[in-house]
Every structure is written in structure tokens, then in C-alpha cells.
Structure 1
Amino acid sequence: MPDLIHFEIPADDVERAKKFYTDLFGWKLEKYPGVEYWMIDAQDGIGGGMMKRQQPDQKIVDHFKVASVLESSAKVEKLGGKVLLPKMAVPNIGYFAICMDTEGNVFGIFENDPQAKRSV
């Protein structure tokens, strides 16, 4: 069974949201180089990220670890889901895709690969 390994929180006001979650949970947030994205260190829990909200209805997205983003993306579509954002690299970390299930829930799938390059 795939593990839940990462979550992403969209925010209208990133500074306000950072303060809220830091004060609430004691999380530490660190800017990720090169993009408007902050890594969340939740200490004993799974890690996450925070970014500026891209669409008005954008919600928290959970990411699940898979062996292959390409194979899992194909399976999502075979089972009636949709791939909203195809396989993309997070250089030196791995690959991810954003999907939607048959009920309209958005989730991510992630494949570890320290050799990941920007283009796939």
C-alpha cells in the first residue's frame, strides 16, 4: 500500500499562513531555492510544502509514494481518474504527477529518484 509522504498547503497570503501553522503546530518552514515554495518540517510527522494559491478553489493536496509515476498515472486513467499534471521532475529528488480520482479529489503521486533531471 502506498505511503502518504507529503502534503501541500495553498495559501492566499503565504506569510500569514506560515505564521498560523508555525504558531499552531510549531512547524519550521524553509524557502525552496528557485521557486515560490516553502518546505514544511513537521518534526515527527510527514513533511509538506506551502505555496501561493493558484486557483480560488485549490485545496490541500496529499502525495503518495509510488514505484513509478508513469505506471501509476496510466493506472489512474485506466480506473477512470484523470492525470491533471503529467510527470514532472523535482531535480535531484524525484518525479511527481497530480491526479484526480473518480470522485473529484485531487492527489499527487511521487517517485523517489535522486538522479531526477528537470526534463522528463
Structure 2
Amino acid sequence: MTSIVHFEIPADDIQRAKTFYSDLFGWRMESMPGMDYTMIDTFGAPGGGMMKRMHPEQQIINYIGVPSVDEYAAKAEKLGGKIIVPKMSVPGMGYFVVCLDTENNAFGIWEMDMKAKE
């Protein structure tokens, strides 16, 4: 069964966004050492992350857990979706792909794999 496992919030001003979400929901924020990425503890599942906005149109993305990003990326394309970020690894955690659905909404697919390498 697939479900949302992670979300990412892009921000123009990371500190301002961290303060907003912490004050609004009480979420805890933890910067990842050596990365420009902040993990968000929502006190439940799914958790999330925050990073610098990469382009003006970038919006919040939900990541759906799947058994194989390769399989689901191919399936998304077959159904009329598009791959906008090809398969990338997060070493020691897994792999992800970012897609557009048929309505131009971005979403991610995530494959957990603790053996993932760069």
C-alpha cells in the first residue's frame, strides 16, 4: 500500500519559515549537518523537510512511498505524467523521483533503501 511518507517545504527565507511553522504547529526543526536542509518533526507521520526555494514556482511536494521508484516512474509516464527530477539517491536512506501528474501538480515518489549510495 502506498501513502505519503514525507513532505518538503521550499522557502525564500528559511529562518522565517521555520519560525512560522514552529509557532503555528509546534513542529521541531533540526538542521542537517553539512546540508542546506532542515528536518521537520511533526510529532507523527509523515515528517518533512525544508530547503531553500530553487525556482519561483516551486511549491510544497508530498512524497509517496513505493516499493520501486523505477517501476512507479515508468508507470507515471505511461499514464501521462512527466518526470521532472530523475532518480536520485539519498545515501543511506533511499531513492526519489519527482514527477508531474496530468494536471501539472508535482509529487515525489520515494523508495526506502538503507543501502543507497551516491
TM-score strictly above 0.5: yes
Letter in 2 for 1:101: D
Q: Secondary structure at the match of 1:2?
A: coil
Letter in 2 for 1:32: M
Distance 2:66 2:109 in 1: 6
| Mapped contact 2:5–2:45 kept (Cα < 8 A) | no
* Alpha-carbon distance, 1:3 to partner: 0.8
* Alpha-carbon distance, 1:31 to partner: 1.0
Deviation beyond 6 Å, 4+ runs, structure 1: none
User: How many pairs does the alignment contain?
Assistant: 118
Q: Secondary structure at the match of 1:64?
A: strand
The reply on whether 1:33 has 2:33 as its aligned counterpart is yes
Q: Which residue of 1 aligns with 2:108?
A: 108
How do 1:26-105 residues align onto structure 2 when only pairs under 5 Å count?
Answer: 26-105=26-105
Distance 1:84 1:33 in 2: 27
Q: What TM-score comes out, normalization by structure 1 length?
A: 0.95
Letter in 2 for 1:70: D
| Mapped contact 2:6–2:62 kept (Cα < 8 A) | yes
Distance 2:22 2:61 in 1: 19
* Identity rate, percent: 58
Gap runs ≥5 in structure 1: none
